[in-house]
Amino acid sequence: MDLYDSILLVAGGLFAGVFNTLAGGGSLVSVPLLVLVGLPGTIANGTNRVGIFAQSVSAARSFRAEGVSGVRQGLPLLLPIALGSVIGAFVISHVADDTFEWLFGLIMIALLPPILVRPKPAADGQSRWSRSTTFIVFFAIGLYGGAFQAGVGILLVLALAHSGYDLVKANSIKVVINTVLTATALPVFIAQGQVLLVPALLLATGYATGGAIGARVAVRGGERIIRPVLVAAVLALAGKMLGAY
């Protein structure tokens, strides 16, 4: 990797880490960047997980420093998330590169509606789901996150908002859950030889910094700043991945 690629990954990780913490969807930027610097799609997907893990840990610590910790509320959700994550990671690690990039492009388009619509907490502050439904919902999110990661934060925020949490609290819980989700999926990609250390560490440097910044911005109500930029990035990168230009 040359200097330009290194700077691109650190800067891209920083940018992705900020709005990944604020809402979700950072992988919609970082995975295509890894492809842009020469990694096949499946290896980009695995390598990206190192950055996501660094960002999630950094953001969780930053939320805690700001007085908003999601550890206690996230604990009951970790089992279904972890189970789904391992299965999803195993399945996607056996998909061909061309197929993965095509699927990833479609997912980027599919995630536009939840990006455009700000999730609202349940009006009564209570979840409308039973325990079994909650398990199934978060298992499904873990399954998706283990496979693709991109946009899983958005799905988590939507689910947590439905469970009665405001957006700041939902984001603090989300990064705790995402830490475990990534930690359980990452060994699968390492075992399949789909993680490259140098680009992973470069991306992680930016991601960790972005996670810390994003948590502070989230607590201070800065999510609206990121949303238009994220939409534009998703549209542009989806076209690239789908071969529109």
pLDDT in tens, 29-52: 898 899 999 999 889 999 999 999
Angle at 52 between CA 161 and CA 179, to 5 degrees: 60
23-27, 138-142, 214-218: the lowest-pLDDT one: 23-27
Please state the separation of Cα 223 from the chain's center in Å: 16
Query: Residue 114's pLDDT is what?
Result: 64
Q: Alpha-carbon distance 173 to 178, whole Å?
A: 9
**pLDDT tops 70 at residue 148:** yes
What's the mean pLDDT when you consider all of the chain? Answer: 84
Q: Alpha-carbon distance 85 to 148, whole Å?
A: 10
**pLDDT tops 60 at residue 122:** no
Residue (of 9, 7, 92) closest to 45 by Cα position: 92
Q: How many CB atoms lie within 10 A of CB 107?
A: 18
Integer CA distances (angstroms), 51 to 38, 82, 125, 208, in order: 17, 18, 33, 7
Query: Residue 153's pLDDT is what?
Result: 83
Structure confidence at residue 117 as a pLDDT band (50, 70, 90): low
124-133, 176-185, 222-231: the lowest-pLDDT one: 222-231
Residue (of 146, 149, 155, 143) closest to 185 by Cα position: 146
124 CB burial (10 A radius; 0-12, 13-18, 19+): exposed
**pLDDT tops 80 at residue 128:** no
**pLDDT tops 80 at residue 7:** yes
5-19, 113-127, 147-161: the lowest-pLDDT one: 113-127
> pTM for this one?
0.81
Structure confidence at residue 126 as a pLDDT band (50, 70, 90): low
Q: Which residues contact 41 (CB under 8 A, 6 or more apart)?
A: 31, 35, 97, 98, 100, 101, 104
Query: Residue 24's pLDDT is what?
Result: 74
**Percent of the chain predicted with pLDDT > 90:** 44
Q: Alpha-carbon distance 76 to 54, whole Å?
A: 22
125 CB burial (10 A radius; 0-12, 13-18, 19+): exposed
Query: Residue 227's pLDDT is what?
Result: 60
